[in-house]
Amino acid sequence: MLTIGLGVALHIYRVIFGDQLALKYAITPLTDRILLIPMTYAAVTGIALLARRRVIFANRRHRALFTGSVVYIAGSVPLHVYCSYIIVDTTLVTWFPMWFSYLLLIVVYPVFLTMFWRLHYRN
């Protein structure tokens, strides 16, 4: 939930202040490196939970959403490593149109956060 929460904060900043100010003050290589810590942890633990079948799903839709969230987070890790450590430049954010941030904020993140809130684990 921390990973998605940080993503929400950065995308809200981008939507409210625009790319120029967001890249200057919020979406920096340092911020990206900080985001990578919970993101990598979430990716590894999410994959482990799926592999060990430790999560109790309410139905197939719940399982699909959890799997989708793990794929989304794990798939984002290489992009963030590339931006924050290899090219040390976060202007790659501008490759994604502003509507993508709106989509994440209005649809994707609320669905993920609701789904995470309802997760149950096996002992």
Contact in structure between 94 and 22 (CB atoms under 8 Å)? no
Digit-coded pLDDT (tens) for 89-98:
999 999 999 9
- Residue 49 to residue 116: CA distance in whole angstroms: 13
Contact in structure between 67 and 73 (CB atoms under 8 Å)? no
Name the pTM for this structure. 0.86
pLDDT the model gives residue 86: 96
Q: Is the dihedral of CA 120, 45, 66, 52 positive or negative?
A: negative
- Residue 41 to residue 122: CA distance in whole angstroms: 20
Contact in structure between 28 and 91 (CB atoms under 8 Å)? no
- Residue count of the chain: 123
Average pLDDT over residues 44-50: 92
